[in-house]
Structure 1
Amino acid sequence: MQACEDKISPKCAFELEEAATNILAAADALKDGVAACKAEIKGVCGNIKPGGGRIASCLLENKSTASTGCAEAIAKVESLASEKDI
C-alpha cells in the first residue's frame, strides 16, 4: 500500500484511515474490557475454554452479575460493535 500510496484515491485513503481508527478504538475497548473483567474471566468464566469467542459469550451471558466496571466495559464494546459493525 505504501509503495502505491500516490495511486490511492482520496476517498479510499479516507476510508482506510477511518477503518484504522475504528480498529484501534475497538482494540483499546477490548483491552480495557479484559482488564475490567479480570475477576469475571477467572471466576464465572474460569472453566470456559479460550478461543472462538467463548469467553466473550460467557461475559455477555453473565453481564447482569458482573461488577460495575466490567458491565460498563462490556457495554462500551457492544456499543462500538453496533456503531461500526466490527
Structure 2
Amino acid sequence: MTLSLRASFLTLPLLALCAGPAPAQTAATLTAEQAQALRTACSADVKKLCGDVQPGGGRVVQCMQGKKEQATPPCQAALGALSKK
C-alpha cells in the first residue's frame, strides 16, 4: 500500500469523527476550528479505541464518547467541548 493511500485510509475514521452527529451537536454546526481540534486531539485515540468502528452515521463519535474515559486528556477535552455547545 502506498504512503498516500495508507494516509487516506487512516484519515477516513477521523473524517467520520468530525462528520457524524454528536448528541448535543451535529456536523452541520461544527466549526472548522472544532473539527480541526478533534482531528488533532483524537487521531491516535480513534485508531486505538474505535479503529474497528465503520465510519459514517456518527458511529465513530458515539464510540469515542462511549470510551471518553479511556481517551487521552486532550481528546477528552475536545469531546467535552462538543457536548457543551
TM-score (norm 2): 0.61
The runs of 5 or more residues in structure 1 that have no matched partner are 1-22, 81-86
Q: RCO higher in 1 or 2 (8 Å CA, sep ≥ 6)?
A: 2
Aligned residues: 58
8 Å Cα contact 1:26/1:77 also seen in 2: no
Provide the residue aligned with 1:77 in structure 2.
82
State percent identity of aligned pairs: 29
Say what the alpha-carbon RMSD is for the aligned residues: 1.7
> How has the CA–CA distance of structure 1 residues 61 and 25 changed in structure 2, closer, same or farther, with 3 Å as cutoff?
closer
**Larger of the two Rg values belongs to structure:** 1
The runs of 5 or more residues in structure 2 that have no matched partner are 1-27
Residue 48 of structure 1, aligned match among 37, 48, 53: 53
Provide the residue aligned with 1:65 in structure 2.
70
Give the secondary-structure state (helix, strand or coil) at the position aligned to 2:32: helix
TM-score (norm 1): 0.60
